[in-house]
Amino acid sequence: MTTGTVRTEAAEIVAEVARRLADPAAVARITEGAVDRFPDGSTPATWHPAALNEGCLGIALLHAELGDRPSAHAYLARGTKAAMPGQGSLFAGLPAVVFATRAAVTRPGDYASLLGRAEPAVRAAADERAREEIDRITAGRPGTAFAAYDVVQGLTGLGRLLLGTGHAEPAVRYLIALTEPVEVGGARVPGWWVAHAPLKNTPDGEGHFNLGLAHGVAGPLALLAVAHRDGLRLPGQEAAIERIVTWLLEWLHEGSWPSVVGFHRQLRGPDGSTRPDRPSWCYGAPGIARALQLAGLALDRPSWRETAASVLRRALARPWDEWDMIDAGLCHGWAGMLHMTRLIAADDDAGDLRDAVDGLARRVVGCFDPEAPFGFRYAAGAGAAVAPDRAGFLEGAAGIALALHGYANDGPANTGWDTALLLN
């Protein structure tokens, strides 16, 4: 199957998914009330209208990227109506509304009233959170949390949202401070030590250091790098980038990083015991490699860029059927791997990586299921019984279609939808 044939098939699937996601009411009849069932007995709902992940706002991104203004508006209206007052995050609530609304703007004045009300509220909430965290650091209280700093819930995601408006400085200043070493139990450790466990509903234990792009220090690294490239350069920013990269490279072993490093493991130091993981956006070598590449581009460090490309090559060299890839989604599936490989290949000008992009696109195309309501089905391991019919961004059909659309057109996103993943 030639590149042209795969791109044509990808474009056809994108059009079909968009058609199936055209009616918000029809989508809601399938998604509302869906729950996941986990081994610990919890049954969280999967659909939240005012969310990017599995909600109206994530689907609005797809229609906006495709230039379907009426469909994008229909989803935005539903998502905005459901947004609750409060701080929110890039992936839920008012900040998510702002992100999706900006993506839908096609001419000056579009959504000016909504953005004029929402953006100041988002800035104020982000600034307050940054002040609280800087006060914590200044007071010498170690231990951050995902909700404070990460991409999905914290100030890395909010900072990326605010970067294009000239109001990201408080978030960036906080992330710089977060990289300063702290003292925990008499030991000096990196300031991004997370006091809670990596997974919900599990004992906090000794806390950990998280490496993933979604919840780990790779997210702040990506934002610090992108901000630097965009001209936001604060005192200590380059040193902060250096600290994160140095630590990440210490834990790199044979092309792989651990997902997390426990407190006592950090004290012992790298031991070469890391095993290859599933290559993914949320946790995995490709997401971290993209953050490393962005840092190399920002500070003009060819060796960092070379390491990032080498890590991706090692992942691609492993038998793909051994990747433990069980769905096509952006978060930890084939579409995420497709999009990250395409971006890294483009910025590295690497022909061999571009060759792999076609193969990854074939994998995504091969996951299309005409019998599924939205064209793709979601799956999970570890004994979880998940709702398979997901329409949204991170785990659902809209995100998969966005990655396929980028591949089919072989160009940057018109709406900047992948900035929500800190990939650009």
Annotated binding-site residue numbers for Zn(2+): 282, 331-332
> Mind spelling out the 3-state secondary structure of the chain?
CCHHHHHHHHHHHHHHHHHHCCCHHHHHHHHCCCECECCCCCCCECCCCCECCCCHHHHHHHHHHCCCHHHHHHHHHHHHHHCCCCCCECCECHHHHHHHHHHHCCCCCCCHHHHHHHHHHHHHHHHHHHHHHHHHHHCCCCCECHHHHCCCCCHHHHHHHHHCCCCCHHHHHHHHHHCCCEEECCEEECCCCECCCCCCCCCCCCCEEECCCCCCCHHHHHHHHHHHHCCCCCCCHHHHHHHHHHHHHHHCECCECCCEEEHHHHHHCCCCCCCCCCCCCCCCHHHHHHHHHHHHHHHCCHHHHHHHHHHHHHHHHCCHHHCCCCCCCCCCCHHHHHHHHHHHHHHHCCHHHHHHHHHHHHHHHHCCCCCCCCCCCCCCCCCCECCCCCCCCCCCHHHHHHHHHHHHHCCCCCCCHHHHHCCC
Question: Which residue has 């995504």 as its token pair?
Answer: 364
Question: Which residue has 């919840």 as its token pair?
Answer: 215
d(CA 104, CA 102): 5
Residues annotated within the binding site are 282, 331-332
d(CA 386, CA 108): 42
